[in-house]
Structure 1
Amino acid sequence: MEKAVKKSRTKKKFLIEAAWETCNQVGGIYTVIRTKVPAMVEKWGDDYALIGPYFPQTAAAEFEPLKVTDETPLERAVSFVRKQGFDVHYGYWLITGKPKIILFDINSIIDKVNDIKGRLWLDHKISTLGAEELVNQTIALGELIRYFLSQLTIEFNGKTDLVVHFHEWMASTCLPDLKKQKVKISTVFTTHATMLGRYLAGNVPNFYDLIDTFNWHKEAIHYGIEAQATFERMAAQKADVLTTVSDITAKECQYFLGRIPELILPNGLNIQRFAALHEHQNLHSKYKKSISEFVMGHFFQNQPFELDQTLYFFTSGRFEYSNKGYDLCIDALARLNHKMKESGSKKTVVMFFITRQPYHSIDPEVLHSRAVLDEIRENCEAIEKEVGDKLFLASASSNDLSLPDLNQFVDEYWRMRLRRTVQTWKTNKLPKIVTHLLKNEDDIIRNLHRTQLLNKPDDKVKIVYHPDFVVSTNPLFGLDYGQFVRGCHLGVFPSYYEPWGYTPLECMARGVPTVTSDLSGFGDYMMQIMRDYEQWGVSVVNRKSQSYDEAAEQLANQLFKFVQQGQRERILQRNRVESIADTFDWSNLRSYYDTAHELAGMKSKK
């Protein structure tokens, strides 16, 4: 008896994580999966793999194929699915940790989707009539995953316990079938944001106050997401263990998915990837200089201001105007503008809105202004070289120790060229509030006009709305997003609906103070683990119990307090922010996942 118990306890385990965003960057779940891999490989080694859909355009850069030798259960399961006539790609994911990965080509089974949908209705009453094409793709992926996992348990032959961790509904459409067919696996399902929560929060005022009044099925039909919401609810109820990323989202699970999560799995980052040690202040100065060059090109042709007295704030994320708190940002910035004027502040704040919206092109006037500024720089550098050479010669050959008149060293050609270039650059037009030609006016533009944040000369808060993501090939900044973040002074993310919120965490990882809200998973978690979070460069806007106007006033005061800090205080704060970022390293947060996998193993055996 004792030998049997000992054998059971030492039984080998194998972990598979399934996600639509495995090797397929769509949103935040890609960041969760990818950054967590090194910590998972550290624990599981070769007993770990990931599965997801195969898309040639993304796999080309991140996937390295391996030859299937049928020497391992994993390879034999891949061969089995291939023999059924389906395309399966087996290899390494080319990221830190280099894990094994199995990607399924959904096109190889898409012709069978209607048959699968019929079975889903007969067996589980999941209605997929009129569903969008994405639903068909997820059903196809689910069927391939079902084939694979079912065979993998056969290959393990009872010698290895298989734990499968499903992320979001898009990778979990097979979970009801796996449960019905009693496939011998332990399952964890994580919802990173409920389907209904995202829709309702963006459309229903006081969403959180009304959360217990909604009929999930009625609302799903209303928003045209019945299939998606049903798959999500079924996965949550059929999994051995239900988890989510924050206490905020746990409440949604209770009312929309009909189950209270057993565990909260907070999100982390591979912090070591961002660590700059003593270099972070130098990197901030370096990238701030690039942002300053854009600011000079954008604003100085009409209204120059002291760059040494200028602070760069930014917000970023998907264009969800209310959910991401862009509305609150604008109202708070209008109040900040008023407070800075009233106090006679010598500072200037440039606020960047970084999100993606449909546009025709970068505004030609914005590009032209930047190009002319570059020409001014080239002229100045040419004059600098000419003056330097002549000054050196004059100094070496003169007995006069006084500094000569430098103007006599500048050729008349360069004088005229510089004067003409500057003259053509200067304008009476107000600097643009948006850098691109939008296809349609949106809520950010409308509310900047409503609050009169239009880059007027007396405004202390200037606005730059950049309706595209920041990449290194961008002609306006010449920085990638991470470098842009490092160059800023403060990240502002007062979200109304944010199950977790990677943007403030990404700021912390780069030594940049940040503002979040208590309705974001990250902000809520910070308040739970750290009483003096403000001392560490994290401000939290109270959106749970305050009215919108009260929250806007609180945010304005937080921003004003930051503006009033001196340079030394800001440097000390950046040091403190970076020093606590390790709290969110996956090496510290993986233990939450370990617990979920252990719990799933115990519950599946009951």
Structure 2
Amino acid sequence: MTEGKLFPDYIFESSWEVCNKVGGIYTVLSTRAKTLQTKMRDHIIFIGPDCWGKQRSPYFQEDASLFTDWKVQAKKEGMVLKIGRWSVPGNPIAILVDFSQYYSQKNELYTQLWEDFQVDSLHAYGDYDEASMFSYGAAKVVESFYHFYLGSKYKVVYHGNEWMTGLGLLYIHKYLPEVATLFTTHATSIGRSIAGNNKPLYDYLFAYNGDQMAGELNMQSKHSIEKQTAHYVDCFTTVSDITAKECKELLDKPVDVVLPNGFENDFVPRGEEFTRKRKIARKRAFAIANALLGQDFDDNTLIVSTSGRYEFRNKGVDVYIEAMNRLLRDDRLQRPVLAFIEVPGWVGEPRKDLQERLASGKHFDTPLEVPQITHWLHNMSHDQVLGMLKYLNMQNRKEDRVKLIFLPCYLTGDDGIVNLSYYDVVLGNDLCIYPSYYEPWGYTPLEAIAFHVPCITTDLSGFGLWVNKELGHAGEIEDGVKVIHRTDYNYSEVADNIKDTVAAYSSFSREAVKKSRENAERLSRKALWSHFIKYYEEAYDIALEKAEHRKAK
């Protein structure tokens, strides 16, 4: 903690991804929890949605001994809660909110929101109502807990992540002004939408009007709650310099602090365990490829992959496929390439024919039908990955030196084909490729280099920009991270750059590969939470200053 700065006695932090593994924010919060828990021992309390009902959550352990007296009070106030601990390092306290009861108050809440903060909820659809009711429930938890246990003698911060927590932050701002509010947008809803709708985001950023674009793209309600929350909270933050520019232009509000996403590396196996797990991952990848393609692969094969959310253009899945297609015809490629796309699609079920082959333990010399995919999808004929493979005529023929396999499921260890967790899969890679067009931070490349896997990313990702800053030059694959310059219009150049980098890496000596892998891991250590938590301390100080000022009035 920095001398002279205000630091909270209690932090409440809410997110749709508390004890709910959906995307990168889960990793941000769950890895940072240990650092805050060490510092604040049970004075950091996470609030998430109760998505599990009567089912047992794998990420949450109920604890009947916590806050027993307040629990009685909360029940009297009509709250339906589960109180326990998040099953992550540090085991912080977590409160899960059943928000279904608040739907009956929805219209009154939205009317009040309009009157108080001019938030337009009229155009709400999709997950807007669900997120807003959760957010209201989370705010009610903070309000009740504060009045029951704390009061104005304590310095308290309420930190909300993403637009989904906006309604609750505005509620606290109005009804509990003695609590400092902090809002982090991990990606602006309108920026992500502009990029996802194939509009050029970066060259025209200065000219876009966020409100106008929200109307055009049918995003009025999400944009409205995000913008008004950014304007009213005590401290507004985002995760990278590139998204900070977006916030300033599209939300008309500069951020107060940039909070880069750190992580803990205690999930990375060490020594012999690392070697053993890497061998298992590679053996599994080769077994799946053999069963699917009817060809043998040995350890000379270069395993590469991309992964993340299924945002075809934003995450650069399109340019990754294009690069692999071009690599097919590159004479400089020294090793066969097995390329995976590990992106969860609208998955139906694991392929029975593939399961049977894998269970037999035999080696095969004939491919299965559709030798590009491991699980059947509900929308095979409309899937963007399969559509592009078909368009490019990429059929994983015997003579092709690059084979591309689509793994369209969450790698949680029980998918029916791979049956290994994502972290156990990623360490089998030789290279990971994340050529994002829209990526406020970029956890996947950071995780890859923590596992000693060099990666390729772009300078349109917060992580890529951070790497360049750390290195003092544009990252090369020898540094552990190749950072490709990407713009609104240089798709073809990016594809060539990826192709050239993989081809060059395929001819690296054993010593050069070892050096690149060591550099990757060394770079990842600079992003540990122990280095990045200082930015949060700065944000807490800004928010608390304003709250203390209000209390003094």
On the 8 A contact 1:314/1:492 being kept in 2, the answer is yes
Q: Is residue 86–residue 109 contact of structure 1 (8 Å, CA) maintained in 2?
A: no
In 2: Cα distance, 1:140 partner to 1:470 partner: 30
Matched, 1:437 2:428: no
Q: Matches of 1:123 and 1:322 in 2, distance apart?
A: 38
The letter for the 2-side match of 1:576 is N
- Residue by residue over 1:202-236, the C-alpha shift from the partner in whole angstroms, topping out at 9 and shown as x without a partner, is 11332211122223223223333322111111111
Q: Which residue of 2 aligns with 1:531?
A: 472
Q: Which residue of 2 aligns with 1:417?
A: none
Inter-CA distance 11–230: structure 2 relative to 1 (3 Å threshold) = closer
**3-state SS of paired residue (2:387):** helix
2:350 maps to 1:362:
yes
Indicate which of 408, 433, 438 corresponds to 1:492.
433
Counterpart for residue 454 of structure 2: 513
1:437 partner SS: strand
1:465 aligns to what SS in structure 2? strand
How far residue 36 of structure 1 moved from its aligned partner, in angstroms, is 0.8
Letter in 1 for 2:374: T
Counterpart of 1:321 in structure 2 is 312
Q: Deviations over 1:244-278 (max 9, x none)?
A: 00111111111221111111111121112214146
Listed one character per residue, the Cα deviations across residues 13-35 of structure 1 (whole Å, up to 9, x for unaligned) are: 22221212111222211111111
Matched residue, 1:34: 30
Deviation for aligned residue 1:79? 4.6
Tell me, in whole angstroms, the C-alpha distance in 2 between the residues paired with 1:476 and 1:205: 37
Where 1:320 maps in the other structure, the secondary structure is coil
- Counterpart secondary structure, 2:157: strand
Please give the alpha-carbon distance, in whole angstroms, between the structure 2 residues aligned to 1:194 and 1:563.
Answer: 38
Q: Match of 1:194?
A: 188
Distance 1:46 1:94 in 2: 14
Q: Does 2:66 align with 1:92? A: no
1:257 aligns with 2:197: no
Residue of structure 1 aligned with 2:16, choices 1, 20, 31: 20
2: CA distance, partners of 1:59 / 1:188: 31
Q: Gaps (5+ residues) in structure 1?
A: 1-7, 377-424
Counterpart residue number, 1:461? 402
Q: Give the Å deviation of 1:529.
A: 1.6
2:282 is aligned to 288
Q: Percent identity?
A: 29
In structure 1, the partner of 2:291 is 297
- The answer to whether 1:158 aligns with 2:156 is no
Distance (whole Å) between structure 2 residues aligned to residue 114 and residue 545 of structure 1: 41
* Residue 145 (1) aligns with residue 86 (2): no
Quick one: which of 25, 30, 40 aligns to 1:44?
40
Name the amino acid aligned to 1:514: C
**Matched letter for residue 336 of structure 2:** T
Q: Report the CA distance between 1:135 and its aligned residue.
A: 2.2
In 1, the alpha carbon distance for the partners of 2:426 and 2:225 equals: 37
Query: What's the TM-score once normalised by structure 2's chain length?
Result: 0.90
| Equivalent in the alignment of 1:241 | 235
Q: Give RMSD over aligned pairs.
A: 2.5
Task: Give SS of 1:598's match.
Answer: helix
- 1:434–1:465 contact (8 Å) kept in structure 2: yes
Determine whether 1:60 maps to 2:1: no
- Residues 350, 66 of structure 1: alpha-carbon distance in 2 compared, 3 angstrom cutoff: same
**Cα distance change of structure 1 residues 113 and 574 upon mapping to structure 2, 3 Å threshold:** same
The residue type equivalent to 1:334 in the other structure is N
More helix per residue: 1
TM-score by length of 1: 0.83
Q: Which position in structure 1 is the counterpart of 2:104?
A: 111
Q: Is the 8 A contact 1:430 1:455 kept in 2?
A: no
Deviation at 1:486, TM superposition (A): 0.9
Secondary structure of the structure 2 residue equivalent to 1:207? coil
Q: Deviations over 1:316-369 (max 9, x none)?
A: 111111101011112211222211xx34x5520011011122244334443444
Using the alignment, how far apart are the partners of 1:471 and 1:15 within structure 2? 30
Show the counterpart of 1:221.
215
1:549 is paired with a residue whose SS is helix
Instruction: State the SS of the aligned residue for 1:338.
Output: coil
Structure of greater Rg: 1
Give the match's secondary structure for 2:236: strand
The question of 1:583 aligning with 2:522 is answered no
- 3-state DSSP of counterpart to 1:160: coil
Q: 1:573 to 1:69 in 2, by over 3 A?
A: closer
1:426-452 Cα deviation digits (max 9, x unpaired): 437787122233323322222223333
Is the counterpart of residue 351 in structure 1 residue 342 in structure 2?
Answer: no
**Quick check: 1:329–1:494 contact (8 Å CA) kept in 2?**
yes
Question: Is this contact kept in 2: 1:16–1:48, CA < 8 A?
Answer: yes
How far, CA to CA, are the matches of 1:349 and 1:12 in structure 2? 51
Q: Which amino acid aligns with 1:253?
A: C
Query: Which one-letter code corresponds to 1:185 in the other structure?
Result: V
* Contact map agreement 1:453 1:461 (CA 8 A) in 2: no
Amino acid at match of 1:427: T
CA contact (8 A) 1:11 1:160 kept: no
- Give, as a single letter, the amino acid of the residue that structure 1 aligns with 2:30: R
The aligned counterpart of 1:400 is none
Q: Deviations over 1:85-136 (max 9, x none)?
A: 2223333223221222222220233222222122222222322225235322
Shift of 1:141: 2.6
Farther off after superposition, 252-261 or 59-68: 59-68
CA drift at 1:284: 2.0
Tell me which of 492, 517, 528 is aligned to 1:549: 492
What's the CA shift for 1:80?
Answer: 4.0
| Amino acid in the other structure paired with 2:503 | F
Q: Distance in 2 between matches of 1:39 and 1:150?
A: 25
3-state DSSP of counterpart to 1:236: helix
User: Structure 2 counterpart of 1:265, which letter?
Assistant: L
How many residues are paired up? Answer: 539
Deviation, 1:507, is 0.7
Counterpart secondary structure, 2:11: strand
Q: Tell me the SS of whatever aligns to 2:341.
A: strand
